[in-house]
Amino acid sequence: MLVEQIAVFLENKSGRLAEITAVLAENNINIRALSVADTADFGILRLIVDKVEEAKTVLKENGFTVGKTTVIAVEVADKTGGLANVLKCIHNANINVEYMYAFVNKTGENAVLIFRFEKMEEAITALKKDGFTILTREQICEL
């Protein structure tokens, strides 16, 4: 149920994001979803890719600091209130969201919400109980 995500440390200087994406492209790694969180001094790039281990290795070889964490991907209908329903469920279970980002799939019918929660296992239980669709990494890559 948990999806592996890689995170890359980015110093705030021009061209770094371009370098990362170039490295991934050269190695034929496809980015399925990404987000950048930034502060005045640095940023963190979070990526969901088709080949996790390979991505981690090539980025490291190119001098980046790379970490691997897990996130939860929830699929909802791309309709008003889709995200609100998920957050209501999480709030009712008394769980905090560390961060989240989202993308819409190719057909445009569904949206995929990527979450990092404070309590991952409890979040899965709560989401399942309320009947939400949780995607695996393979499913995301196939979208």
Partner 1 sequence: MSVIYWEEEMETLPRVGLESIQLRRLQHLVARVYRTVEPYRRKMDAAGVKPDDIKTLADLTRLPFTVKKDLRDNYPFGLFTVPLEEVVRVHASSGTTGKPTVVGYTANDIKTWSNVMARALCCAGATKGDMVHNAYGYGLFTGGLGAHYGIERLGATVIPVSGGNSKRQINIMKDFGSTVLLSTPSYALNLAEAMDSMDIDPKSLSLRVGIFGAEPWSENMREEVERKLNLKATDIYGLSEVMGPGVAQECLHTTRGMHIFEDHFLPEIIDPETGEVLPPGEKGELVFTTLTKEAFPIIRYRTKDISRLYYEPCECGRTLVRMEKVTGRTDDMLIIRGVNVFPSQVEHVLMGVDGVEPHYQIVVDREGNLDTMQVQVEVSEGVFSDEIRVLENLTKYIQTEIKDLLGVTCRVKLVEPKTIQRSEGKAQRVIDKRKI
Looking at the Cβ atoms of 117 and 132, the one nearer to partner 1 is 117
CB of 95 to partner 1, least distance (A): 15
User: The tokens of 19 are what?
Assistant: 């370098």
Looking at the Cβ atoms of 42 and 136, the one nearer to partner 1 is 42
User: The tokens of 29 are what?
Assistant: 């790694």
Residues lying near partner 1 in the complex (CB under 8 A) are found at 5, 7, 9-11, 16, 37, 39, 41-42, 44, 46, 63-67, 69, 98-99, 116
Residues contacting residue 76 through CB under 8 Å, at least 6 positions apart: 82, 83, 85, 86, 110, 111, 113, 132, 133
CB of 16 to partner 1, least distance (A): 8
Looking at the Cβ atoms of 21 and 133, the one nearer to partner 1 is 21
Residue 50: how many CB atoms within 10 A of its CB? 16
Q: Write down the number of H helices and E strands in the chain.
A: 5, 7
Residues contacting residue 39 through CB under 8 Å, at least 6 positions apart: none
CB of 67 to partner 1, least distance (A): 5
CB of 23 to partner 1, least distance (A): 14
Quick check: helix, strand or coil at residue 46? strand
Looking at the Cβ atoms of 41 and 138, the one nearer to partner 1 is 41
